[in-house]
Structure 1
Amino acid sequence: MNTRAIMEKIKTYDKIIIHRHVRPDPDAYGSQNGLAEIIKASFPSKKVYVVGEEEEWLTYFAVMDQVADSVFEDALVIVCDTANQERVSDQRFQNGKEIVKIDHHPNNDAYGDVLWVDTSASSTSEMIYTLYQEEKDQGLVLTDRGAFLLYAGIVGDTGRFLYPSASNRTFQIASELVEYNFDRTAMYRHMYKTNLKMARLKGYVLQNVEVTEAGVSHVKLSKDILQRFDVTANETSAIVGVLGDIEGMKAWAIFVEEDDVIRVRLRSNGPVINEIAAKYEGGGHPLASGAKIHSWDTVEDLLNDLEHVCAQK
């Protein structure tokens, strides 16, 4: 994909609305708001909005705009870090005049008028920096705040550069971003701090994990458990990596009961799991995916599939 096509769309429109996925993470916020900062700094006369439901712990990075339905008329919509249309936060994205998709997940749902999908990128925030790099001769400007947002997104999606997705290019981009003026220490402190209730939930997870000989582990977090620890289903995303630190762990699943579905957070230290996620109404990266089931009776089926891929490794 030539970034020039995206650049031309940005130049053409006076109104630009930027979306990202539901249940956002730092890369969703970082890419969405980092791109918004770049466009605002580069073209001050344009009206640029960021939309989607608020995630309380991410308001440290940005606050969403409240946008009337009429704003979408004759607007360019850019959707960041969202593989499937159903996962776009604020479904009014379909009401824009044209849609641009920028994402690093497998392109199973090729929506939009202009698509840029790069599964080799560590994060969509990395892609937004690439857009800036390749099109800065067209007038793009990256501010300190924009650099802060993109760096946070990269850090979040690479697990502080520990995941295999962090490539040589990722480190090169990170080295350039840290030349900007922002407080990395404060950013890390905010992203990785743990409040008391989450610390107690981590303790529960470690005490109740079930592990198989093949290296598959899982924990079930029912609505009763969430209520006991006073945490929301969204907040459980912060503890998804806990089981991966256990010696011998190949893949793991955390089942989180919501009102109408059981959310499944899947992670792996090697075996490819996104095909399993796709089987259960989900998807994602080879080593980090999400799925959903509609009954606790389905847990064993999913775990058997995990067991099968781990036994082959």
Structure 2
Amino acid sequence: MKRQIIDTIEQYDTIIIHRHIRPDPDAYGSQLGLKALIQDNYPNKKVYAAGTHDETLSYLGRPDIISNEAYHGALVIVTDTANTGRIDDERYSKGAFLIKIDHHPNDDAYGELLWVNTKSSSCSEMIYELYEEGRQYKNWQMTENAARFLFAGIVGDTGRFLFPSTTKRTFEIAGELIQYPFNRNEIFNGMYEMEENLLKLQGYVYQNFTMDENGAAYIKMPKELLKEYNVTVSETSSLVGSLSNIKGVRAWAIFVEEDNEIRVRLRSKGPVVNELAKKYHGGGHPLASGATAYSWEEVDRVIADLKQLCKEYQ
């Protein structure tokens, strides 16, 4: 499969790489890492990264502004995105050929060529494995820039190597990547440093979360609360792990209100939450998923289901 992807990359002069909406470090890491790898090894190709920029990820890089004409006859690759509904920029379907590279459950088998590995810690880890194949097959070279993106993506999706998805293979790849002289402190600071207002909102989370006797925890963040603390919806993503340190918590949810919907972030230490996420317009990994609610009444149904999930967990 990896050689088929490499052969396909070699066939196209223009390559456009997409990733999922509401991006995280692995979305940027896999997308921009793959872009850098292709550009560095095929300097005559035009390679673009598509999608709306998230300012919280500016420490990593920025996507490109792409014309509609660029899609004519182009190869499109989508990284780190389980289903078509979550692909950022609907023009992904306007290219000549579509490849899916992902590590989520393959519930939506889109694309003419698919490489899905649910055992991989991150899509960035998969892009590194694509590089390894390219090194053996076509003498691909890894550069400091590409290594930086891939390392960031792996760190982000493994929670600094704390999540169960981290494997011996993950550490081996990380060990290879840190041999390149990029600034790791810059990456860690970009991921984990918080502005004062966000830290104060984190304090609110600790003071106001709810947890039941079965370890189901949650916090609601209405628009008025975000306005009070001057925090954007995307900035709240850095708070999703806050409830993980609570003794006795099994699974938790953070509900963040936007203009027309309520973003649902689900995390777990054991109970499988991605089926719950699918029930509410979302999906993701067994222990880390996202969903969407369209009213606070629907949020209460998510909470009830989360409580039942924790109650049934053995």
Q: CA deviation at 1:70?
A: 0.4
Moved over 4 A (4+): none
- Cα distance in 2 for partners of 1:118, 1:7 equals 17
- Specify the code of the residue in structure 2 equivalent to 1:273: V
Trace 1:93-108 onto structure 2 (pairs within 5 A): 93-108=92-107
Trace 1:15-30 onto structure 2 (pairs within 5 A): 15-30=14-29
In the alignment, which residue of structure 1 is the partner of 2:143? 143
Cα deviations by residue, 1:131-157 (Å, 9 ceiling, x for unpaired): 001121313221011001100000000
- Cα distance in 2 for partners of 1:180, 1:284 equals 31
Q: CA deviation at 1:299?
A: 2.4
In the alignment, which residue of structure 2 is the partner of 1:64? 63
In the alignment, which residue of structure 2 is the partner of 1:214? 214
In the alignment, which residue of structure 2 is the partner of 1:280? 280
Aligned 8 A contact 2:59 2:187 in 1: no
- TM (norm. structure 2) is 0.97
In the alignment, which residue of structure 2 is the partner of 1:305? 305
Q: CA deviation at 1:228?
A: 0.8
- Cα distance in 1 for partners of 2:182, 2:300 equals 47
Cα deviations by residue, 1:155-195 (Å, 9 ceiling, x for unpaired): 00000000000011100100111111111122212211011
- Specify the code of the residue in structure 2 equivalent to 1:32: Q
- Cα distance in 1 for partners of 2:190, 2:284 equals 26
Aligned 8 A contact 2:56 2:234 in 1: no
In the alignment, which residue of structure 1 is the partner of 2:249? 249
- Cα distance in 2 for partners of 1:55, 1:193 equals 16
- Cα distance in 1 for partners of 2:86, 2:302 equals 22
> What SS is found at the alignment partner of 1:160?
coil
Unaligned runs of 5+ in 1: none
- Cα distance in 1 for partners of 2:140, 2:176 equals 16
29-38 or 56-65: bigger deviation: 56-65
> What SS is found at the alignment partner of 1:217?
strand
Cα deviations by residue, 1:47-76 (Å, 9 ceiling, x for unpaired): 111111111121221121111100000000
Determine if the alignment matches structure 1 residue 42 to structure 2 residue 35.
no
- Cα distance in 1 for partners of 2:87, 2:244 equals 28
- Specify the code of the residue in structure 1 equivalent to 2:42: F
Cα deviations by residue, 1:221-250 (Å, 9 ceiling, x for unpaired): 001111111111111111000011111000
Q: CA deviation at 1:300?
A: 2.6
- Cα distance in 1 for partners of 2:153, 2:194 equals 19
Q: Give the CA RMSD over aligned residues.
A: 0.9
Cα deviations by residue, 1:235-292 (Å, 9 ceiling, x for unpaired): 1111000011111000111111111111110000111111111111111101000111
